[in-house]
Chains A and B, each alone.
Chain A
């Protein structure tokens, strides 16, 4: 009798083990799907999902289960979601955060709790330098990078009196320090707006009075939509040229602002017209799946998924040895849609940066066109502070 029970229990246990190993790997995505910047998270999620769909529910041949929740751009909410993923769902891989203030609240705690976090967007300087961690990877960029590309273009094109504007949160401060790192001329003004601000009438009046010869600004998502529209309504777009990182000139934003952004030059690590096979395939299948041109956010979500896939493949879906998984991520053996891709020692990308121009196409739409490469194998400025 005893034997029988033991046998049944043993069999049950075996069955249970079998069930566990066949279960898909859970990936927790904390992202921003509401507020004026909700489309950023939507594109990251859609890019990520596209990679899973292309693998028929698998990444790197390993079945995965993607869980998505909306942080509403609130650090507290992001923390709650991350806690739930860790405690209830026992997630070992997390990704998705759009905003650096949310990232600063969530990432340090998560990576200390033996979870690998792969950032598809937010890259605050604090996590690239002294706060770097072996469980933290950024597959997109360090925040400053795209601003550096834009500022380099502004400096090289002889602008001498530049006005700078960004929201008052970690990524906004990173953007301004990125501008200043490559533009060393006179600064006509340096203004920090409220995060999520809608009306820029006051700032535009001050800007006009400062009489700069160019404006470098960083306002992601809906903030950028409102700013660019109001800039044009104030008649400033024909007088003072705008420059900035690609965050204020993504494809969905351009659709919303119409002609107001035509001619603007902006810095990016990726554009839908980049000439490589992985990118062509990605852009075509994204358009087919969602009926719109992918933004850089979508490309980052797609890259994040494929990076995770490459590492899952290397460890055969087994996350019990986190160090092995980490090493596999570090190798970055996947075809990035931006071409060559590798991680620096602080686990942030070492990549080429481009400037691109907003142009009007034959059918009256506005889109980005890559102009030229401004930096090759660009390493972020904080890498040297990372002791790892």
Chain B
């Protein structure tokens, strides 16, 4: 039972990472109607900048402070240079262009940082365990990820429901022609939303750095799950992204934990683990298929 609770925490932590990634992606898709395959690149940029600054200064916080603006600014720059030309093109052109961006950013990081991955350390004040629930000493860094994710979700909630900017963004998601006609500077709004989205992706990358390894192409492994999340949650919906991210995180983690143990009952360990892992990765897509049959526009479709 304790083990089960610990796995739920692990699933929650993965879910939070996915939420940070998908919140930005779903906004960009929802408002600009643009498929941004290169979203993972900003996750990578965040991780690389944080790892570099942290290793030079020895401070994780400085790394965080440098990487957040780096991810946001590079996002806005890419929006100005590339995406502005893509808004009126069809989705195929967008996919091609943003796929090109993936290759560009991966190669760029290889040129700057080399082929070897960087390994980031967890800040020393978060390198211990906390016994939040008796019997489960849980790494404090992972708890911090969950905490940061929940705070970000709250902030986004306040931004969207309590501020004028948030209202404009929501309106833009629902009907961009109409709010442009009402005199809102939609171009500026697009750049801001894009920056916010890449900022969140960068934040996810920074926090993933010490758990994973910072390497070229790290964005693509999380990008696919991110797309699953926004499709399940309903494209353009932050609330949907939150709930779908947690759902996907839990299904992926618990599947990876339960399915191999189930298969071990009648298969040798190596085969069971291999098959179990594959089934677990499939389970996320099965979940997506089931939800799409039930609700073809995702759990929380945005009206528009």
15 extra interchain contacts, Cβ-Cβ under 8 A, other than A190-B269, A208-B6, A256-B119?
A: A38-B117, A39-B116, A42-B116, A191-B273, A198-B212, A199-B211, A201-B13, A205-B7, A206-B3, A206-B257, A209-B6, A225-B119, A226-B211, A232-B127, A233-B128
For the complex formed, measure the closest distance between the CB of A295 and the CB atoms of chain B, giving whole angstroms: 14
CA distance A198 to B120 in the complex (A): 13
**Interface hits, A34-64 → B, CB 8 Å:** 34-36, 38-39, 42
In contact, A202 and B117 (Cβ under 8 angstroms): no
In contact, A38 and B115 (Cβ under 8 angstroms): yes
In contact, A34 and B115 (Cβ under 8 angstroms): yes
Could you write out 25 A-B pairs with CB less than 8 Å apart? A33-B115, A34-B116, A38-B115, A38-B116, A42-B116, A70-B115, A168-B277, A172-B270, A191-B273, A192-B269, A198-B212, A205-B257, A206-B257, A208-B3, A209-B2, A209-B3, A209-B6, A225-B213, A226-B212, A229-B210, A230-B139, A232-B127, A233-B122, A233-B128, A234-B137
Which B residues are closer than 8 A to A by beta carbons?
2-3, 6-7, 10, 13-14, 115-117, 119, 121-122, 127-129, 137-139, 141-142, 210-213, 215-216, 253, 256-257, 269-270, 273-274, 277
Interface flags for A193-211 (1: CB within 8 Å of B; 0: not) read 1100011011001101100
- Chain A interface secondary structure, helix, strand, loop or mixed? helix
Inter-chain contacts of A42 with B (CB < 8 A) = 116
**Interface hits, A165-189 → B, CB 8 Å:** 168, 172-173, 176
A222 is an interface residue with CB less than 8 A from chain B: yes
CA distance A289 to B260 in the complex (A): 47
A131 is an interface residue with CB less than 8 A from chain B: no
Closest to B212 in A: A198
In contact, B129 and A230 (Cβ under 8 angstroms): no
Closest to A200 in B: B211
**Count of inter-chain pairs, beta carbons less than 8 A:** 92
Interface size counted on chain A using CB atoms at 8 A: 36
Q: Which of these, A191, A202, A226, A234, contacts B139 with CB under 8 Å?
A: A234
Report which residue of B13, B256, B273 has the largest number of chain A beta carbons within 10 angstroms of its beta carbon: B273
For the complex formed, measure the closest distance between the CB of B129 and the CB atoms of chain A, giving whole angstroms: 4
For the complex formed, measure the closest distance between the CB of B14 and the CB atoms of chain A, giving whole angstroms: 8
For the complex formed, measure the closest distance between the CB of B250 and the CB atoms of chain A, giving whole angstroms: 12
Q: Which of these, A190, A202, A222, A232, contacts B10 with CB under 8 Å?
A: A202
Inter-chain contacts of A38 with B (CB < 8 A) = 115-117
Inter-chain contacts of B6 with A (CB < 8 A) = 205, 208-209
CA distance A131 to B1 in the complex (A): 46
For the complex formed, measure the closest distance between the CB of A163 and the CB atoms of chain B, giving whole angstroms: 12
A76 is an interface residue with CB less than 8 A from chain B: no
For the complex formed, measure the closest distance between the CB of B261 and the CB atoms of chain A, giving whole angstroms: 8
Closest to A192 in B: B273
A241 is an interface residue with CB less than 8 A from chain B: no
Closest to B269 in A: A190
